[in-house]
Amino acid sequence: MLNRRHALALLAGSAAACRAPSGSEEPDVVIVGAGSAGIASAQTLIDAGRTVLVLEAMGRVGGRAFTESQTFGAPFDVGCAWLHKSDDNPYTDYARTQGFTLQPHEYDLERVYFGNQPGNAAQVNAAEHEIAEAIMDAPSDVAASTVADIDTPVEEAAGDYLGALDMAVDLDELSTFDYANADDLEPNLLCAEGFGSIVRRRAGGLPIRTGTPVRGVRYDGPGAIVQTDDGEIRTRAVIVTASTGVLAADVIRFTPELPADTRQAIDDIPMGMLAKIPLQIPRSVLGLDPFTDLMLARDGKNDLYFLCHPFGYDLMIGFVGGDLGWEISRAGREAAVDYAKQGLVEIFGSDAANQVTKGALTPWASNPWTRGAYAAARPGRYSARATLAQPIANKVFFAGEALAGGLIQTCGGAFRSGQATARAVHTALG
């Protein structure tokens, strides 16, 4: 996520067959997913005196907040990296008190290239502001492409930066209302140890069971029954924080089926794509200052953005988003790394690619527990977010980045959504 508007399987068994996977717990609330929203829900409910159990499909906590240090010998945020709206972000104070290293970083572009020709970054930034204003002035919820004037290469680059590289969808798939109702995300911070490390620490001490996919939720009897490969867990309410991509894929079987308007809402808020292609390259090679924002604007929607050497690391982190993000993700790691290296060659000449010692591609498109990067409402379907936020039978509640109000798509927003949903569940339980 780059730049937001800084201008402004199992069928339900009978009750008798119900057994807990291990132990004999019957928590007040089961939370599906140990990402930012799940962690916040769990902590909030525990603070309110409720018992909870968090079930996480992956073998680790954090979900789309994940810092990985093995590949490059430096912390690399596979998912979220920026603490957006950091003066009102639930992770900022926590990170400070926990001793994490935070660094302000906004992303007005500093360098832009049109092919191998240097462009005027200020012009691209200004064009992006104009496009943002046009989108926010739109009187109805339509595709952003229908209200934005994109005539020149500068405007095309600006539109791609705002759409694909920020909102994770191209402008023709971006809802004007989604964009207009999203908060200004400045001021932004980056974390030297990685945002994923902050989220992981915050999960410490919570009752989380990893490697435990939830296969079904039965809510037709008293309370609810959550089904896993290890057995079933009785509970009073369930908070589901799985992405809309996971929900749309029917990975979790609900009994009875979810209401038609909830199902429709899930389909109306599909996942967008933002893929990172980190390249390991000594920072002395290209002479780029740490934290430089660099964009290679290409014909069509083939733009590539690099965050250069954050914290002085020997890393240039390439980003591709929207349709290109999906395409590159499908093509796989080798093709993605070639694509990013080719970008460096276009700008800096052929020797640049020879200096790249390693590259990677983030796996959010193929990860069965995310199925995308973050959710974007279809044009005209902004209201689906409010529909999905409605609890089902006062027992099944949804939370997560797709339901984060002004902080949609963000990790801090997911946390806030988790807190708010937990409070609603606490009230519903009486």
Ligand X SMILES: Cc1cc2nc3c(=O)[nH]c(=O)nc-3n(C[C@H](O)[C@H](O)[C@H](O)COP(=O)(O)OP(=O)(O)OC[C@H]3O[C@@H](n4cnc5c(N)ncnc54)[C@H](O)[C@@H]3O)c2cc1C
Query: Which residues are at the interface with ligand X (CB under 6 A)?
Result: 1, 32-38, 55-58, 63-65, 79-82, 84, 213-214, 241-243, 246, 251-252, 274, 276, 362, 364, 369-370, 373-374, 400-401, 409-412, 414
What minimum distance in Å lies between the beta carbon of 214 and ligand X?
A: 4
DSSP-based three-state secondary structure for 295? strand
Q: How far apart are CA 360 and CA 319, in angstroms?
A: 11
Q: Identify any residues that bridge with 320 across adjacent strands, giving them in sequence order.
A: 275
203 or 347: whose CB is closer to ligand X?
Answer: 203
The Cα angle at residue 280 between residues 327 and 277, in degrees rounded to 5: 15
Whole-number minimum distance, CB 257 to ligand X, in Å? 16
- The candidate with the shortest Cα–Cα distance to 361, out of 322, 397, 318, 407, is 318
Radius of gyration of the chain from Cα atoms?
22
Alpha carbons 389 and 398: distance in angstroms, whole number:
6
- Per DSSP, the three-state class of 46 is helix
66's tokens: 């994940």
Minimum distance of ligand X from residue 329's CB (angstroms): 10
| DSSP code at position 392 | B
β-bridge partners, 112: 295
CB of 183 to ligand X, least distance (A): 11
Give whichever of 114 and 313 is closer to ligand X, judged by the CB atom. Answer: 313
Q: Which is nearer to ligand X, 371 or 426 (CB)?
A: 371
Shortest distance in whole angstroms from residue 367 CB to ligand X:
8
- The span from the CA of 72 to the CA of 81, in Å, is 16
CB of 167 to ligand X, least distance (A): 11
Instruction: Cite the DSSP H helix spans in 141-259.
Output: 153-162, 176-180, 195-202, 244-248
* Residue 36 or 138 having the CB closest to ligand X: 36
Residue 381 CA to residue 274 CA, distance in Å, equals 21
Tell me how far, at minimum, the Cβ of 93 lies from ligand X, in Å.
Answer: 16
Name the residue nearer to ligand X (CB basis): 286 or 395: 395
Write the CB contacts of 14 (distance below 8 Å, at least 6 apart in sequence).
none
- What are phi and psi for residue 304, nearest 5 degrees? -130, 130
Quick one: 416 or 426, whose CB is closer to ligand X? 416
Residue number with CB closer to ligand X (38 or 322): 38
Strand 396-398 versus strand 237-240 pairing type:
parallel
Q: SS3 for 71?
A: coil
- Those residues whose C-beta lies under 8 Å from the C-beta of residue 25, and which sit 6 or more positions away, are 51, 53, 233
Closest CB to ligand X among residues 288, 317: 317
Q: How far is the CB of 338 from ligand X (least distance, A)?
A: 20
- Closest CB to ligand X among residues 182, 353: 182
The two counts, helices (H) then strands (E), for the chain are: 14, 23
Least separation in angstroms between residue 46's CB and ligand X is 17
CB of 402 to ligand X, least distance (A): 7
Query: What is the biggest distance separating any 2 CA atoms in the chain, rounded to whole angstroms?
Result: 71
Of the two residues 68 and 155, which places its CB atom closer to ligand X in the complex?
Answer: 68
Tokens of 271: 């996942």
Quick check: 301 and 164 in contact, CB under 8 A?
yes
